[in-house]
Amino acid sequence: MSHGRLAGKTAFLTAAGQGIGHATALAFHREGAKVFASDVNAALMDKLSAEAPGITTLVVDARDTASVNAAAQQVGAVDVLFNCAGFVHHGTILETSEQDWDLSFDLNCKSLWRVLRAFLPGMIERGGGSIVNMSSAAQTIKAAPNRALYASTKAAVAALTKSVAVDFVKQGIRSNCICPGTVQSPSLEDRIKAMPGTYDENRAAFVARQPMGRIAEPEEIAMLAVYLASDESGFTTGTESVIDGGWSL
């Protein structure tokens, strides 16, 4: 059910092809926003276009500055930015290569920098707006095993979120990040299948660490993104919104 919470707003999203990004694109659309959804995977964008014809889809590589800048030129000024591109590296610090480090920081952090650099000037000129970045509870909030590299990138996302918040609050920019626990997604399914042991054992381990006894649905994260994107959160900036089912308690 739509309540028009984002009516009149224009939003640009990265990694909208599946998981949290996909659910958020649909939620923004239902709440009345003019949605520009992007992903590097053209097939997923075609699927989203068929599912929600009112959403404008773009093939954008968040790891390529020219691609991001071209998208910003095409879309124009926006009211809402949702930065969702990311990758979960599995392993201790001794199981990370220099290439792993570079990939994770490029996709999880530098992609954010690219999008902000491309879209923030238009938001300021427009008179303000809301930036919503995907961080994670698995960073300084909660240490998780085999997440050394991922946690480092997500802590950097939180720090960048707060830096943007304090630097541009006088220009009407709000900047917040979402810090989920484990969320159901194709990415989670891939990680479960790649782990040693059986699928059922590995999935049960993810569920067991959640005090609520279940994994979050992407739509639950999307509704928090709607709140942070909307005027309902007009006095909220520089925050880390934890939505982890009690995992970090």
The helix-helix angle for 218-229 and 19-30 (nearest 10°) equals 50
Q: How far apart are CA 163 and CA 161, in angstroms?
A: 6
By C-alpha distance, which of 34, 100, 114, 32 is closest to 70? 114
Is 150 part of the annotated catalytic residue set? yes
Catalytic residue, candidates 12, 28, 119, 150:
150
By C-alpha distance, which of 117, 123, 132 is closest to 79? 123
Give the count of beta carbons closer than 10 Å to the beta carbon of residue 7.
12
Q: Between β-strands 80-83 and 173-180, what pairing exists: parallel, antiparallel or unpaired?
A: unpaired
DSSP structure class, residue 208: H
Q: What amino acid positions are annotated as catalytic residues? A: 150
